Structure 1
């Protein structure tokens, strides 16, 4: 080993020891490193560096690489020949976790159901266009739903993967492919971060890109401990409270941990990554379309008994999509607040999402679905109605009065950020005093390592475990409510409160949304209502027929079997006091677009659908821009489009019926369609005394009629016509006139448009004869001699006195002679065999 390096290492270690001895710096013993954390090459460790040690010490050791860092937290990589336990600067490591784990994304989303979380009520906010951080691999920036939305921060090691594309689509998709590919924030942008760095991102980078929410739809193996990454994210959120990190809980819901007090319990404390146990983040579980928790969705509690995950959202195949939904909604709330010149915090946004959530399962929170199901409509209502407060600090107890007269249910939440540490350190207590003097406390759960106790329903008491506290008051009385938030401790503690009021007898349809069409077959109708209302749900058709739908008072949805495509239907919720109508909507199938003809400058599409439409629209997407072309419906449902397109152009179709629009077909690139041109060939030949034409079509879609006319010097004559052809191959026979014949093909569409036209020209000579053309020319012009069928011949040209002035052989079916060598005047000619023994023809011509 180089003597200089040895000397430097010795000096560095010596100085560290002397510093500790001379200045009395308290030495923090590093966390014991269990042999269970031994990992294969390359070996990575997350460490917390003692702030009293100089980081330049690490530069002396080339076998150590600092891969990523956030303040005192670092991920280091050690080569294969050194033991982390024996490094001389071990005293500078306050604590350490292994980080040599497999990063994995947590499912992709082949089906997206925005109705579960009422996302349409945030999607419609077209002015909301924030940038959202996405921490994983790179999304496909050429995807039609996120085209032009992706910005990279570091792509050296990253690769384009479908999962990242799916998450970006859920967050900010434009809905080009299908209606359900519209993300939470269709106007949003994505800033891509590399998830190989599982530590928090650089605050300055986030600030310069105006990022307030980062989505983390990835995980490791089950980790049931509060580690250094959790501590780092708590520190990041505490120090930079304008940034919210949202994590997927994981897809290990049936597994168990191996370090916490819950390690013996199957299906408990199985979040996939210790950073997901952080207090100041949002961790998301997943449910299906009926708000049933997915069995694979990882659950809590945290090692100290806190509620994890905090919320759930739709995620058909895992928790990744649920996290993306929460990230999109959180970024939207941030943006709405900034638009009102309000400076929001991460804990304010958390409180708004919690206050707007729907309780599912047993009353109150639980360790599997947290505080409930995200409801974007309610969270947007809270934000727009100003039903929140952001308190910078309070001495003793904060008191607020809320006067509510028209009320069914009342939910209020307090949220705050706590300093890093596994347990709650800064504690607040929420309490509500009702109009009748009754006192309401937050929901709390048992946290003992006992399956029976963990499964018990939530009860109401003071909460000294969580930094989110929720009070629900069902069937609430009208009047004044006194909200009290008591601070326990002397440190400065900013906090946020948010509340949602469900008005009495209130009911709102949330799906179908507006006049959005519904699919033939089974549909899930969705609505929001108070606990006091249990309306009768009915379907009404345009012809006046009505039917009662079976509904469950404990659910916020009802199943509806749409019987027939083309029906217009609306839905009624009939209570004792009122009737609530949805808008009229159309029962639709999804049309299937097909390409029937592909020419260089023309495309002919057709589509299949049960819909009896009035008109049809072709949507064309090219390079991030969409054009819509509408036309009346044709007899054969053809759509004719003239223009030049490359294979990267995308197309879909949608029909319109009496003011209703159908579902759209899937947007597909031209490269996915296969078709020949409308006319694959049009040719002909002279056969004896006839001309035979041959027409071959690639398709007859869109073709109203085919016509062929013969044009001669004597005029035009129709020789062939057919309407609405059902064949692709046509043979046409005609007896021509002697001389010039032009056969003009014209193909018309159902709207009268000319789809194709082409001419074929023939010069007809009767069999066994020669035809001269023209027979009057100017000096220097050419005279043509044409045969019906070729035979070698010779032409002799005479003056009126009989002198031969030109003699040439005719060696093809059509030959010509130059007249530049002939004087003006009348000439005679004879056409004979080569040996002059047989005459084939004779005549005269004039040179002027």
Structure 2
């Protein structure tokens, strides 16, 4: 036994010595797995981009210069990372073997991890934060979206997008969705509402997978950067992972939030090669320790099928969180990024300016997450589902602390746990120094968390098995020492009331210094119930199924669910209430526009919701869009007497007028083009706003919405016209162009409908031209643009216009596809002045060079005359 122990000790020291000597790492350890498996990338003599991690940038620069190597340094990053341009053979023969080179990789092409199309900020209780903390809206905060450029003309970003040199030139809808989820201003519709609608937005091109420079984050005040993209499944700690860990260390108030990926059903590689549906995070950068990696759930909190799973390459718990993202992990990351800004803003305002360290925000989010799947953390859902409200409560109640642990030292914090607590949860988090690229294990400084009660009983953190066997990866967490993760969590169910000691020990802290950390804790009381949807800021859709949400700590599963439309004077039961532990129920709201209440009765206790609004979807239309004015109108809603009109101001929608009418005249020209309307269920309470419209782009002209003519049954002209409104319209007339001008065909009066139709059964051979005449009550006349029908009755060809201008074109229409057919023009002297081959049934013949006068037109097919006419050229 002693001999075995001695051998293990010698082996341990050997491993430590090898890890401490990066210069003697074998050549293949200097290559990323991608390059190890694709050595042919070194055979291409064309210049390409490489990432080279050096022990000393100056040594690398001097070497390139002294040897006169064709290596161009494009960028320099913290941790000795160089982005260079060089040929593969040169890197392979002259650079890779140098002692200062620690790691070489190539950048990969990123791709967005799907866009979300479903709006739901209630699953992760973001709406509850909005309701209870209305002043928290992201004002003064800045979020960066690293991918392509969002549509900066989107009205949900008006006045809040900041252009920077880092912005991509490519505009993508995916980037627009992510920016909307994080910081949409709700100008377009309620689904355009972001987590922090007053935050500023910048974007950074993800053409480079490395973080932006520290100066960029500081210059623009960026405190969260969202990364909803991936590459392939990459199970190693890359130069990019080290760069992101260093980025947060260098900017301790900054947090990078990554989507886990949409490869949850794929087979892993690297240390977990061959294992299906596990260890399939999409990108080596997601192996960083200090970031947040977020998986996706459906509307019920279940991990989405395609959401990428952990562990990280070295067995660490990934993702740390899951959040709503029914169509992909992109939206899950964006919801989390927005929540980070909410917490940062609260902390900043409460503490007079400074930002919270990223370790504290991470600890708050992890500790407050709702446990999913196996008890404790797991590789599918991490530490649970994002709960913005609980995180905010932990911050508001100051259930957090920070400290610093030295090598071998222990820091102790005591907390009081009240009686009847259902669960005590404590989470430790620290920002760990960046490891060497391609390190077999990423952890540098190892801290240990313990929870001790009055009797001396010790609880250790939950730890998962990292063994590369599917059965091991699916095992529930056990309590033991954690020597992999920078996040450690202890929970105790039904703890005994009293004082508990939280101990943080510096088990292995490199360099003789100390490691800062953050701790968050919470206690869960029994017999608690809280409505999560709807809150005061939410809308239930009238006449539709709405997903009600709540949280409950009652042991019983029985409850009675009711609603009221008269401020609680009377109540109506909602079907069969599902189990309280389920946390949701569908409710088909009545077809009305009204304020409402919900209540849940449990064991005689009544829990009433906020007053919320049941609202139908109103539509705003344009009646006319004339030079001096435009008219907006909307349908009247039963039971609603007043409406509020909003227009888009400098950044947000602003109220214009409250009216009992259902139309509004907008004077032109004006500076405001975007309008919407909301019914008022109470004098100061608008219901759901309609989609916001730009009244100049709705296809409505000055009263006339559209005018179409068509040939029907080969011999009838079908005329169709639609006006935008009947307001002030006296008559609508279809007119036809004759030799003496336009003549009326049919007049409609009085005007009670918007759509009109007429059939002209007297078509003439050739061109039949029509227009619509609209007469208003004040005598004003409005004409449409002319529309024509071409009718072949006795002829096979039509030539027009006649007369035609010398600078214009002569249109030639053929009844059938022409073959070997030519148009010939002759002047009055009989000289041929133009020959044009007709190849299509519609031809535009240029007349440039012809002088004014009368010409004879002839069409010949296969040398035979088929058609003649006179053409006047002006």
TM-score higher than 0.5: yes
Q: Provide the residue aligned with 1:479 in structure 2.
A: 498
Choose the corresponding residue for 2:59, options 46, 53, 63. 53
Alpha-carbon displacement from aligned partner over 1:118-174 (angstroms, at most 9, x marks no partner): 112444334642112222222222211112222233257532222222211111111
Q: Provide the residue aligned with 1:528 in structure 2.
A: 551
2:391 pairs with 1:379: yes
The Cα of 1:510 is off from its aligned counterpart by 1.7
Give 5+ residue unaligned stretches, structure 1.
1-23, 681-695, 707-721, 730-744, 748-755, 761-848
Contact 1:356 1:379 in 2 (8 A): yes
Alpha-carbon displacement from aligned partner over 1:345-373 (angstroms, at most 9, x marks no partner): 11111001111111112221110110011
Equivalent-residue separation in structure 1 for 2:250 and 2:701 (angstroms): 63
Q: Provide the residue aligned with 1:36 in structure 2.
A: 38
Contact 1:588 1:662 in 2 (8 A): yes
The Cα of 1:677 is off from its aligned counterpart by 2.4
Distance change (3 Å), C-alpha of 1:759 and 1:704? closer
Choose the corresponding residue for 1:582, options 609, 613, 616. 609
2:420 pairs with 1:420: no
Contact 2:148 2:167 in 1 (8 A): no
Distance change (3 Å), C-alpha of 1:35 and 1:290? closer
Q: How high is the TM-score relative to the length of structure 2?
A: 0.72
Contact 1:650 1:668 in 2 (8 A): yes
Equivalent-residue separation in structure 1 for 2:281 and 2:326 (angstroms): 18
1:804-819 matches, within 5 Å, as: none
Choose the corresponding residue for 2:533, options 511, 522, 547. 511
Equivalent-residue separation in structure 2 for 1:727 and 1:84 (angstroms): 73
Q: Provide the residue aligned with 1:677 in structure 2.
A: 702
2:671 pairs with 1:664: no
Contact 1:475 1:531 in 2 (8 A): no
Q: Provide the residue aligned with 1:573 in structure 2.
A: 600
Contact 2:323 2:336 in 1 (8 A): yes
Equivalent-residue separation in structure 1 for 2:22 and 2:521 (angstroms): 48
Choose the corresponding residue for 2:335, options 322, 325, 329. 325
Alpha-carbon displacement from aligned partner over 1:690-720 (angstroms, at most 9, x marks no partner): xxxxxx99444455999xxxxxxxxxxxxxx
Q: Provide the residue aligned with 1:685 in structure 2.
A: none
Equivalent-residue separation in structure 1 for 2:730 and 2:571 (angstroms): 43
Contact 2:559 2:603 in 1 (8 A): no
2:76 pairs with 1:65: no
Q: Provide the residue aligned with 1:254 in structure 2.
A: 265
Alpha-carbon displacement from aligned partner over 1:534-593 (angstroms, at most 9, x marks no partner): 461412232532235432343332222224233653221222362110023333221122
The Cα of 1:378 is off from its aligned counterpart by 0.7
Contact 1:536 1:548 in 2 (8 A): no
Choose the corresponding residue for 2:778, options 757, 765, 769. 757
Contact 2:558 2:579 in 1 (8 A): no
2:478 pairs with 1:459: yes
Contact 1:105 1:218 in 2 (8 A): yes
Q: Provide the residue aligned with 2:380 in structure 1.
A: 368
The Cα of 1:85 is off from its aligned counterpart by 1.0
Equivalent-residue separation in structure 1 for 2:282 and 2:68 (angstroms): 33
The Cα of 1:727 is off from its aligned counterpart by 7.4
Q: Provide the residue aligned with 2:364 in structure 1.
A: 352
Alpha-carbon displacement from aligned partner over 1:217-241 (angstroms, at most 9, x marks no partner): 2211110111222122223333432
Q: Provide the residue aligned with 2:678 in structure 1.
A: 654
Distance change (3 Å), C-alpha of 1:467 and 1:72? closer
Choose the corresponding residue for 1:493, options 481, 490, 515. 515
Equivalent-residue separation in structure 2 for 1:189 and 1:665 (angstroms): 25
Choose the corresponding residue for 2:586, options 543, 546, 559. 559
Contact 1:172 1:182 in 2 (8 A): yes
Choose the corresponding residue for 2:144, options 133, 141, 147. 133
2:639 pairs with 1:620: no
Distance change (3 Å), C-alpha of 1:94 and 1:551? farther
Choose the corresponding residue for 2:283, options 273, 278, 283. 273
Equivalent-residue separation in structure 1 for 2:696 and 2:453 (angstroms): 65
Equivalent-residue separation in structure 1 for 2:312 and 2:148 (angstroms): 28
**Helix, strand or coil for the counterpart of 1:495?**
strand
RMSD of equivalent CA atoms: 3.4
Choose the corresponding residue for 1:401, options 392, 396, 414. 414
Contact 1:700 1:728 in 2 (8 A): no
Equivalent-residue separation in structure 1 for 2:601 and 2:323 (angstroms): 29
Contact 1:640 1:702 in 2 (8 A): no
Alpha-carbon displacement from aligned partner over 1:430-453 (angstroms, at most 9, x marks no partner): 222346765433222111111122
Contact 1:307 1:466 in 2 (8 A): yes
The Cα of 1:277 is off from its aligned counterpart by 0.8
Q: Provide the residue aligned with 2:158 in structure 1.
A: 147
Equivalent-residue separation in structure 1 for 2:520 and 2:384 (angstroms): 15
Q: Provide the residue aligned with 1:214 in structure 2.
A: 225
**Helix, strand or coil for the counterpart of 1:58?**
helix
The Cα of 1:623 is off from its aligned counterpart by 5.2
The Cα of 1:672 is off from its aligned counterpart by 3.6
The Cα of 1:480 is off from its aligned counterpart by 2.6
Q: Provide the residue aligned with 1:14 in structure 2.
A: none
Larger Rg: 1
Q: Provide the residue aligned with 1:161 in structure 2.
A: 172
The Cα of 1:325 is off from its aligned counterpart by 1.6
Contact 1:429 1:485 in 2 (8 A): yes
Equivalent-residue separation in structure 2 for 1:54 and 1:450 (angstroms): 41
Q: Provide the residue aligned with 1:598 in structure 2.
A: 625
The Cα of 1:610 is off from its aligned counterpart by 5.8
The Cα of 1:414 is off from its aligned counterpart by 0.6
Distance change (3 Å), C-alpha of 1:439 and 1:702? farther
Give 5+ residue unaligned stretches, structure 2.
1-20, 436-440, 706-720, 732-748, 757-773, 782-874
Equivalent-residue separation in structure 1 for 2:525 and 2:81 (angstroms): 51
Equivalent-residue separation in structure 2 for 1:450 and 1:198 (angstroms): 31
**Helix, strand or coil for the counterpart of 2:195?**
coil
Contact 2:167 2:203 in 1 (8 A): no
1:726-741 matches, within 5 Å, as: 726=753
Q: How high is the TM-score relative to the length of structure 1?
A: 0.74
Contact 1:44 1:75 in 2 (8 A): no
The Cα of 1:645 is off from its aligned counterpart by 4.5
**Helix, strand or coil for the counterpart of 1:280?**
coil
Contact 1:638 1:701 in 2 (8 A): no
Equivalent-residue separation in structure 1 for 2:261 and 2:616 (angstroms): 36
